[in-house]
Structure 1
Amino acid sequence: MVPALFIGHGSPTLAIEQNEYTKFLKELGISIKPKAIVIFTAHWENDITSISARDNTYEMIYDFGGFSEELYSIKYAAKGSATLAANIQDKLAGRGIESKIDTKRGLDHGSWVILSLMYPKADIPVVQISINPNLAPEQQYKIGQAIKSFGKEDILVIGSGGTVHNLWTINWEEEKPEKWAVEFDDWIVDRIEEKDLKSLFSYKQLAPNSKRAVPREEHLMPLFIAMGSGGEEKAPKVLHRSYAYGTLSQICFEF
């Protein structure tokens, strides 16, 4: 049995950095050995939940600009699983959730940056799934609930995004986190540990600095999906917490 995870995927530069966070992600991959990976990425948005379905190797998507040329040469040769993709679509349909199959999309950096650190051999099948940031947190949670049985099948569900993700507030020279960013994450952590879903679903109204921390919801929504796909009997916990560039949250939860 494997847990469900929410992973703050930080900056694309994580893929070529060596620091405490990259060390943590490498160790996390060593500690969790799934037979397949299902990853909801904040960098694939679609009104209808889209599921990558292929058995061959993914193409790379370098969906960022202005970074080191080294990043654009990285290859993560993971293969997909059309069988698992069909299974996911069946489970979503069973909960009345519309979805569609995508046979062409490659892996975006919300997926390959963290997976290249956790599972560098790229020898585990990966199914990438889009998110719809316009759905309410409750609906995101229900998407996760539809596949919560995967943990018992040793299929790792990952929500890849970030809690505090405001690119307008990034300071590339800052090493210490901004107080307002920490306050928002403190609130999220407390509500998660208390399993206070009602408050979490209303984070916009209740969490401090919510508008500043979450100017758009695409990076936060994978958190609710991961939460829904975790085991209800388990106590959720923070696995790692750090910040890059003053405000970019690199927080990871296990559910």
Structure 2
Amino acid sequence: MAVSYFIGHGSPILALEQNGYTEDMRKLGESLGKPDGVVVFTAHWTRPGLMLTATDGVQETIHDFGGFPDELFQVQYPAKGSARIAEELRERLTSEGIGAQVTDARGLDHGVWVILRHLFPEADVPVIAVSVDPSLPPQEQYRIGQALSGWTDRNVVIIGSGSTVHNFREMSFGRPDAADPWAKEFDDWLVERMRQGETEALFAYRDSAPHGRRATPDYEHFLPLFIALGAGSGEAELLHQSYQYGSLSHLIIRFG
């Protein structure tokens, strides 16, 4: 059975924090052991078509944010890549009619290393970062995931890294542990639709979900959910749900 994950990567400061969310990521990492590699579709690398990092060397830790403590900019996640796994992944996507290219000129953005720092704190699992293409509708994002469904049998972890509720205009930074009812209502609707396998309703989330448009003004953060959904099989399992600043959602969902 194919297994994949969606992880809401939250604020970069989570790389330094210890809370219920990071603890559940740590537990998930322990349950995964030491896979041959981890593939992360990251909302912080957008471009037309798919691009994969392909190198056997240590990858740069990209601090693609501002306004945070100096301590955060000192964090390094010196994970190596795997040119072999990246090429296998590219071939798999291409064989399913999905264009993909590889590059050795990009490191790991915070959509990748913030979560991996908790999942695999020793940075001892090869990492392949993958860009996302916001020009594609949910159905096509799902198809990208489906192309990898059988491929996950080879002990490579597939993760979609984004956020289901990600609206900066709605965030209340003076309420770091708060959850706005409307944000939770949106996430609860998503989880139930995924548990029921109602993919058509999920594809139409902007109009069919409560607060669908309010929750997802930046589609690039939401779309990794569809990739993870397509890559897994079986029922969706909610592993964690919490919020920061009222409406910044932290979900961990296992598919399969």
Q: Give the Å deviation of 1:176.
A: 2.2
Q: Deviations over 1:174-207 (max 9, x none)?
A: 1221111111111101100101001001111101
Give, as a single letter, the amino acid of the residue that structure 1 aligns with 2:5. Answer: L
Where does structure 1 differ by over 6 angstroms across 4 or more consecutive aligned residues?
none
What is residue 248 of structure 2 aligned with on the other side? Answer: 248
Q: Does 1:72 align with 2:73?
A: yes
- The answer to whether the Cα contact below 8 Å between 1:164 and 1:181 also exists between their aligned partners in 2 is yes
Q: Does 1:3 align with 2:3?
A: yes
Give, as a single letter, the amino acid of the residue that structure 2 aligns with 1:27. Answer: K
**TM-score normalised by L of structure 2:** 0.96
Partners of 1:116 and 1:216 lie apart in 2 by 25
Between the aligned residues of both structures, percent identity stands at: 45
What is residue 129 of structure 1 aligned with on the other side? Answer: 130
- The answer to whether the Cα contact below 8 Å between 2:45 and 2:131 also exists between their aligned partners in 1 is yes
Residues 28 and 2 of structure 1, relative CA distance in 2, 3 Å threshold? farther
- The answer to whether the Cα contact below 8 Å between 2:2 and 2:231 also exists between their aligned partners in 1 is no
Q: Give the Å deviation of 1:3.
A: 2.3
- What is the 5 A alignment of 1:146-225? 146-174=147-175, 175-225=177-227
What is residue 14 of structure 1 aligned with on the other side? Answer: 14
Unpaired segments ≥5 residues, structure 2: none
Taking only aligned residues, the RMSD between alpha carbons, in angstroms, comes to 1.1
- The answer to whether the Cα contact below 8 Å between 1:2 and 1:155 also exists between their aligned partners in 2 is no
Q: Give the Å deviation of 1:154.
A: 1.1
Give, as a single letter, the amino acid of the residue that structure 2 aligns with 1:235. Answer: E
- The answer to whether the Cα contact below 8 Å between 2:2 and 2:149 also exists between their aligned partners in 1 is no
Partners of 2:209 and 2:119 lie apart in 1 by 31
What is residue 48 of structure 1 aligned with on the other side? Answer: 49
| Count of aligned positions | 253
**TM-score normalised by L of structure 1:** 0.97
The alignment partner of 2:220 has SS state of: coil
What is residue 29 of structure 1 aligned with on the other side? Answer: 29
Unpaired segments ≥5 residues, structure 1: none
